Structure 1
Amino acid sequence: DTILAEALAVLKAGVRSLCKLKGHRPEIAEAFVDRDKGLVIGATTLAEKGELLLLDADAAVQSVDGKPLLARAVISDVEALAKSASSSGSFVTLDAAWFEKRGEKAAESKPVAGAAPAPEVEKKTPVITRSQSYEGRVVVIPVGEDDLIIPARFEFMKRTLNLCDEQGAEAVIFDLDTPGGLAWDTITLMMKDLQNLKTRSLAYVNTRAISAGALIAMATDAIYMAPASAIGASTPVSGDGTPLAEAERAKNNSAFMGMARTVVREKGYDVRIIEGMIDMDRGLIINGRVIIPKGEIVTLDSEQATMIIDGKPLLAKGVVKSIEELKLRESLTGEVITAEPTGFEWIAIWVTRYAAILILIGLAGGYLEMQTPGFGIPGFIAVGAFSLFFFGHYVAGSLAGRETMVVALIFVLGIILIGIELFAAPGTILPGLTGFLCVMVALVYAMSGWEVAPPEGEAPSSEGVSFSFAPYASGFRHFALGVSGAAVLITLLALWLPSLRPFRALVLQSAAGGTYDDTPVMRDAARARAGECGTARSALRPYGTIEIDGRLVEAAVEGDYIQSGAAVRVREVRGEKIIVEPV
């Protein structure tokens, strides 16, 4: 399974890097998590292939090759450990309350007379990318946990890179700590934005550059690793995380290798590295030296990434502990400045991140508007939610030029067709279904944009990548979540809305021409009985008013639409709610 193999490769690279940093044997940590490794140290077999390594106390402290296998000694309790670690033999135990009191005392403490004032802590204010100059500065672009799954972040990075060139930045550094993200957006960033960048670009793997993060790193001019860090595992996976079929996996691997290979070769890196990161069947073997065996996805720890082969580092130029140290290694002199999104960019990022919620609010607001007369607050909420949705995706770059108007027209057409189904031709199905498809296409396209074109100069595969649904996976996921959430919310509203006095009054004013207080609906509703027949005096969608023996009664229909004037029968009385069905 590709996803499990990628997760295992990342885990192994991380524990290897940390073990090397702390002086432990990295092969032990690998044997803890990978049953296929086994563990043989010297003449001692500690774990057979096919079983995970598990050490008891005696095994952990045994001497192998002149030093303890893993643990220094066996002790009885924490106190014994504390005493052995303290030169004086004394120790104290601190609980959470101690730290809380310490913080309170520090906040209440006053400076000692005559003492030098404490240095002021510089408050970091967001850098406004459109107003603050990058001239001569070192611009840091943070790439965090979920930054690469938000299309608007890519648009922000693109604009920042353009500003670096326009304003003459000394260098741009990607501060990477990411598990990956959107493959097609990353390929666009690699092949277009970073390739066209004139400013020197650097990547600082701090502490993960996994999947899409590794692709970005290898599209820069130089890579540096944090002491405990990992880079690699760039195998494409489906948008919903499900495993790909063998043929589809091979096609995707070939396409992505073709596109990534072009960039990596131009940046001077060994293309075998990126090939092994994408295709687990390749491994990484250089000059007969097996760095990562075939069958494992290439994920390098900091030591592997910086090992010297043929007189030069395998991938990264070195290991540094901070961006300041990276500056010194690269002889950069400019002030370090962190790029942050502007106000509109923050809106775009927020909208693209929570698109499903806006869809939910828009649909639920539209439903409430249909249940009330005129155009009121629910209608404004629905219009506001969808307006913010489209505006945010326009700012994010998913929509551009004429396509914005086209998508908006498709969306409006879908709403009109759904309205025809509900009010003009109920039960015909075709207008409603077509309208739903139009709305879906408009919303998904707005969240996705068009897919990236294949690279120029090198065909990624014999089958090509003229079209793929991969760029739209995230859009479909948000749409499905929004519609599902709206369906649940609408169902709850359908059950409980009539019992809420404000909404009950709104419905009755429209249906009977009076108010809640002067309309005998609730008095007569209690006398309605299952099986009684009447006539719909307003459309029921699903709520409306019916007449039974001269009495106006509020009722609801479940699953159907009933036109005004249609004959109805009381199916059941559920508390204060009357459920009817067409006769």
Structure 2
Amino acid sequence: MHKKKRGKRIRLFLALAVSWILSVFAVPAQEIYQFDIEGDIGPNAWRTVKNAFSNAEGMRADLVLIEMNTFGGMVNFADSIRSRILDSPLKTVVFINHNAASAGALIALACDRIYMSKGSSIGAASVVDQSGQVLPEKHQSYMRGLMRATAEAKGRDPKVAEAFVDPDVDLPAIKPAGKILTLTSSEAVNIGLAEAESASTADLLKAEGISNPTITTHRITAIDRIISFLINPAVSGILILLIIGGIYFEMQTPGIGFALVVAIVAATLFFAPLYIQGLADNWEIALFVAGIVLIVLELFVIPGFGVAGILGIICLVCGLAFSMVANDYFNFSISEPGMLFNSFLLVIASMVTATVVIVIFGKSLLKTRAFKRLVLQDEQRSEEGYTSSRPNSELLNREGVAKTVLRPSGKVEIDGKWFDAIALDGFVDIGEAIYVEKHENYNLFVRKKRTP
């Protein structure tokens, strides 16, 4: 009996000892935060990277894993992504699944470790315009500097990184003279740029010695999808058309109606996602608002159509165009080449389209039953029994002077008293003599006094 009890105690002790040893020396589960960079490098990719790294740092992940497949995109957004990766305290590993060209190569170099699937490639980072033409030397020089600095920050050969941009970099064992460097997966591994070839992210984690990972995958939210949809150039063009059309139709109808609501909503949907993405700035929105104010003043306050109206149109167009392009005030060198021209082209084309639609359909649209339901169209006419004041017969045919510009409404002075007045001639300048033709609804209807 005593031997049996002693054996049980020994087995229990051994089990407890083994359990304690395992708990002390066992490798804890590592937290992995994973997200993808696919398609063009632009505002959507930048938003994804910002949100992903914020989440990963918030949960104190052990490693950030990026799966990449891109042919490149906008240099300014690639630089922002590169800087965010370099500034993060978290270890970052990129898995190039097919392509890391141009801006993608820059982002990959910013990561701590690079893995590539078989058949993948990295490189070809010369700066080109939207037609694929290589841009002048100042653009290439900037990109070469980014490549060298990024490679040096991660202990990689800066000359190889520079060769992705500059065909004149001499690397006889790797590339022919005069050619931009692009490396296959095996070539990248052979020169030490990449760690290894991997079939999947699971193989990558095993190569990193991570056997018990807890993987959190970044989710694209509904807000992200809405923003991505709204900053599409085609959608931006439609919103600009609605802004211009809404302002026009509001000016054609009395009071504040549906057309103004459409213009305000369209302007909000145009500027808000661009502001969130870091493209539109406060001064660009203020420039747009100033343009609207100047145009309204020109139409209703200032006689004729001159400096204020022209400045208003310029401010409106520039406010819309500048907000779609990355810039440092009027420095647009950080934006993708050709983007400023394209944004102006989009704004002008949308405004021309809006003008054509207004000319062709404007008057007929104002008379439709559906439009009349949305705006106040009815007038309370005196012949239908409506009245707000009794006519003052004593003022009829009295003479006075315009105290403000009447275009057509304003103020006039008669016998030392000021009255609201409406010019039946359409326009009366300050100081011009007038006479009262009729009095209705608290307003005097006046005409210019004709000099003999």
TM-score w.r.t. the length of structure 1 is 0.54
- Residue 349 of structure 1: which of 219, 224, 228 is its match? 228
C-alpha separation in 2, matches of 1:167 and 1:412? 42
1:411 aligns with 2:305: no
Per-residue CA deviations over 1:261-303 (Å, capped at 9, x if unaligned) read 1111121222122212112333x61xx41x2222322122222
1:165 aligns with 2:45: no
Distance 1:470 1:242, change over 3 A: farther
1:293 aligns with 2:176: yes
Question: Residue 361 of structure 1 contacts residue 381 of structure 1 at CA under 8 Å; is this kept in 2?
Answer: yes
SS at match of 2:335: helix
C-alpha separation in 2, matches of 1:229 and 1:480? 37
C-alpha separation in 2, matches of 1:331 and 1:338? 20
- Residue 430 of structure 1: which of 289, 307, 321 is its match? 307
Shift of 1:244: 5.5
C-alpha separation in 1, matches of 2:145 and 2:293? 45
Per-residue CA deviations over 1:285-333 (Å, capped at 9, x if unaligned) read 1xx41x2222322122222222x24xxx2x2111112111111111233
C-alpha separation in 2, matches of 1:279 and 1:503? 65
Shift of 1:374: 2.6
- 2:324 corresponds to which letter in structure 1? M
C-alpha separation in 1, matches of 2:289 and 2:331? 27
Counterpart for residue 39 of structure 2: 145
Counterpart for residue 420 of structure 1: 297
C-alpha separation in 2, matches of 1:261 and 1:356? 39
- 1:477 corresponds to which letter in structure 2? N
Question: Residue 322 of structure 2 contacts residue 343 of structure 2 at CA under 8 Å; is this kept in 1?
Answer: no
C-alpha separation in 2, matches of 1:388 and 1:505? 23
Distance 1:203 1:262, change over 3 A: same
SS at match of 1:137: strand
Distance 1:430 1:511, change over 3 A: farther
- 2:53 corresponds to which letter in structure 1? L
Shift of 1:169: 0.9
Q: Which has the larger radius of gyration?
A: 2
Counterpart for residue 365 of structure 1: 246
Counterpart for residue 495 of structure 1: 360
Distance 1:331 1:256, change over 3 A: same
C-alpha separation in 1, matches of 2:259 and 2:427? 27
Question: Residue 398 of structure 1 contacts residue 447 of structure 1 at CA under 8 Å; is this kept in 2?
Answer: yes
Shift of 1:484: 0.6
1:302 aligns with 2:211: no
Per-residue CA deviations over 1:138-168 (Å, capped at 9, x if unaligned) read 222211113x12x243133123213322321
1:251 aligns with 2:138: yes
Distance 1:510 1:341, change over 3 A: closer
**Counterparts of residues 169-248 of structure 1 (less than 5 Å):** 169-190=61-82, 192-238=83-129, 240-241=130-131, 243=133
Counterpart for residue 469 of structure 1: 333
Shift of 1:235: 0.8
Counterpart for residue 67 of structure 1: none
Distance 1:428 1:280, change over 3 A: farther
Shift of 1:511: 9.8
Shift of 1:410: 2.6
- 1:219 corresponds to which letter in structure 2? A
C-alpha separation in 2, matches of 1:230 and 1:360? 43
Counterpart for residue 419 of structure 2: none
- Give the unaligned 5+ runs of structure 1: 1-134, 453-465, 519-538, 540-562, 567-583
**Counterparts of residues 44-59 of structure 1 (less than 5 Å):** none
- 1:145 corresponds to which letter in structure 2? G
Farther off after superposition, 469-478 or 263-272: 469-478
SS at match of 2:262: helix
Cα RMSD (Å)? 3.4
- What percent identity do the matched residue pairs reach? 27
Shift of 1:467: 4.4
Question: Residue 32 of structure 2 contacts residue 64 of structure 2 at CA under 8 Å; is this kept in 1?
Answer: yes
C-alpha separation in 2, matches of 1:212 and 1:434? 39
SS at match of 1:275: helix
Distance 1:410 1:378, change over 3 A: same
Per-residue CA deviations over 1:118-157 (Å, capped at 9, x if unaligned) read xxxxxxxxxxxxxxxxx943222211113x12x2431331
Shift of 1:384: 0.4
SS at match of 1:447: coil
Farther off after superposition, 469-478 or 181-190: 469-478
- 2:227 corresponds to which letter in structure 1? A
